[in-house]
Amino acid sequence: MSDNSYKTPQTTARYSATFDEYTMSEIRRAAATGIYDIRGGGAKRKLPHFDDLLFLGASVSRYPLEGYREKCGTDVVLGTRYAKKPIYLKTVITIAGMSFGALSGPAKEALGRGATAVGTSTTTGDGGMTPEERGQSKTLVYQYLPSRYGMNPDDLRKADAIEVVIGQGAKPGGGGMLLGQKISARVAKMRCLPEGIDQRSSCRHPDWTGPDDLEIKINEIREITDWEKPIYVKIGATRPYFDVALAVKAGADVVVLDGMQGGTAATQEVFIEHVGLPILAAIRPAVKALQDLGVYRNGKDSVQLIVSGGIRNGADVAKAIALGADAVAIGTAALIALGDNDPHLEAEYNKLGTTAGAYDDWHEGKDPAGITTQDPELMQRVDPVKAGHRLANYIAVMTMEAQVVARACGKSHLHNLEPEDLVALTIEASAMAQVPLAGTSWIPGVTQF
């Protein structure tokens, strides 16, 4: 007798791990438009990161400091090597360079206000310095970029430090782009371009090639500014040992090292996700280069290292410092503190076909939060005073969190944190950060298992 109730079972619908939903949607998008995807933000895929490290803290073999009672310094001096006027910051957390053009005037002003309130620096970006930004930033770093949009010697002299940008972690080897929607009359005028065009920023500096020329270029900037200002060199993380060594040789006071999680205003998706190193893998080789050249924490001769790319909280800050950085820079996190991708705007994000937290079409200039836009109405939504206050709170929290961790490790200054204080949760992170796998003394590539 046959069982009529038995039906041949069907397997459940199964998506391919290789051709996942996002991948398929991108194939369809490319097929329909014939142009690559451009977006803002940093790498979205999961990468080995600071979360893969843990602090050991103190116990019998190490002695902790009393929380809130015993001093734990957070300040940093940048640019001691050659500059007559080094920069002094109260916290090791700085604001990364983000262009006026990519960001609205009020957003730039808010960054300046927030940074100033907590005694740290902010940085200009592609497109030049705005009076709002200079006015509200006690310490302002002026970027000297390949495009030289808006670059002029008066602003160079007004800056507190100068950052020669060679690359960014999100797109090492790539130039910038700012699409027509954001080339407003003011942005166009500052960049000396026709209004509304899709603008490209070059990927190489126009008047120098290679490290020997860079040395002469840095010297020129020093001569123009009478050797007063620290000169930073910013690089995307690719070959950190060699690039840092060459930057030092060229005369940098400070090296800024940006990992692949680092945000961008607008870049091709393929570039953001597939070029460069995660910051975790880049810090130790960079520090090694400084050590080999005798400029690592060596008094007045020191070249300071600022790292960035996916810094989100005080633990990330402390881990970056423990691996050897002197300071960190934040971009994306600062924008979130100002109000970017905030859930209270969900209905408006939905109208743009996305959701709060995932919005990354910053190049389109329609940001409901008024931050990554040049639309005069949308940008009114940023109250520079309130947004600046939120940023100041956030930096203060991160600084205190870093202190909590440092005190637990028995350190009276964040700079006393060291790789010794860390272990890794994964073999990958252990190899990249060169700290032992938790519970072992094994560092792949360094010690025997």
Partner 1 sequence: MDNISFDLDKKPLREVNQLLHGDAAGLNGKSFTIENPNGAHSIAVGLKSDVHVTIKGHAGYYAAGMNQIAKVTIEGSAGSGVAENMMSGVVHVKGFASNAAGATANGGLLIIDGDAGLRCAIALKGADIVVGGSVGSFSAFMAQAGNFVILGDAGEGLGDSIYEAKIFVRGKVKSLGADCEVKTMDAESKKILTDLLAKSGHVDVKPESFTQYGSARTLYHFHVDNAGAY
**Which does residue 225 bind out of partner 1, ligand FMN, none, counting CB within 5 to 8 angstroms by kind?**
partner 1
Q: Which is nearer to ligand FMN, 165 or 287 (CB)?
A: 165
**Which does residue 98 bind out of ligand FMN, partner 1, none, counting CB within 5 to 8 angstroms by kind?**
ligand FMN
Taking the complex as a whole, the smallest distance from the CB of residue 192 to partner 1 amounts, in Å, to: 5
How many residues touch ligand FMN under the rule CB under 6 A: the total is 31
Phi and psi at residue 376, to the nearest 5°:
-60, -30
Pick the piece of the chain touching ligand FMN (CB under 6 A) from 10-18, 71-79, 328-336, 398-406. Answer: 328-336
Q: State yes or no: residue 143 binds ligand FMN (CB under 6 A).
A: yes
Helix (H) or strand (E) holding 391: helix 384-408
**Which does residue 130 bind out of ligand FMN, partner 1, none, counting CB within 5 to 8 angstroms by kind?**
none
Q: Which is nearer to ligand FMN, 103 or 345 (CB)?
A: 103
CA dist 147 and 133 (Å) reads: 20
Q: State yes or no: residue 265 binds ligand FMN (CB under 6 A).
A: yes
Q: Which is nearer to ligand FMN, 126 or 421 (CB)?
A: 126
Q: Which is nearer to ligand FMN, 310 or 388 (CB)?
A: 310
Taking the complex as a whole, the smallest distance from the CB of residue 266 to ligand FMN amounts, in Å, to: 8
Contact residues: partner 1, CB under 8 A: 33-35, 147-148, 151-154, 156, 177, 179-180, 191-194, 197-198, 200, 202, 206-208, 213, 216-217, 219-220, 223-227
417: nearest Cα among 309, 299, 297, 312: 297
255: nearest Cα among 271, 243, 266: 243
Taking the complex as a whole, the smallest distance from the CB of residue 84 to partner 1 amounts, in Å, to: 12
Q: Which is nearer to partner 1, 147 or 332 (CB)?
A: 147
User: Exposed e or buried b for every residue in 193-230, given b needs 16+ CB within 10 A?
Assistant: eeeeeebebeeebeebeeeeebbebbeebbeebeeebb
CA-based R_g, the chain, Å: 23
**Which does residue 165 bind out of ligand FMN, partner 1, none, counting CB within 5 to 8 angstroms by kind?**
ligand FMN
Helix (H) or strand (E) holding 10: none
CA dist 88 and 223 (Å) reads: 22
Pick the piece of the chain touching ligand FMN (CB under 6 A) from 31-39, 58-66, 133-141, 257-265. Answer: 257-265
Q: Are 178 and 265 in contact (CB under 8 A)?
A: yes
Q: Are strands 199-200 and 422-424 parallel, antiparallel or unpaired?
A: unpaired
Burial of 401 (0-12, 13-18, 19+ CB in 10 A): middle
User: Exposed e or buried b for every residue in 435-448, given b needs 16+ CB within 10 A?
Assistant: bbbbeeebbeeeee
**Which does residue 168 bind out of partner 1, ligand FMN, none, counting CB within 5 to 8 angstroms by kind?**
ligand FMN
Contacts of 363 (CB under 8 A, 6+ apart): 38, 39, 40, 177, 178, 179, 181, 182, 265, 266
Q: Which is nearer to ligand FMN, 65 or 265 (CB)?
A: 265
Pick the piece of the chain touching ligand FMN (CB under 6 A) from 1-9, 92-100, 284-292, 420-428. Answer: 92-100
**Which does residue 425 bind out of partner 1, ligand FMN, none, counting CB within 5 to 8 angstroms by kind?**
none
Q: State yes or no: residue 98 binds ligand FMN (CB under 6 A).
A: yes
Helix (H) or strand (E) holding 283: helix 279-292
Q: Which is nearer to ligand FMN, 333 or 405 (CB)?
A: 333
Q: Which residues pair with 153 in a beta bridge?
A: none
Residue at shortest CB range from ligand FMN: 331
Binding site for ligand FMN (CB under 6 A): 40, 42, 96-99, 102-103, 125-126, 143, 165, 168-169, 234, 258, 261-265, 308-311, 329-333, 372
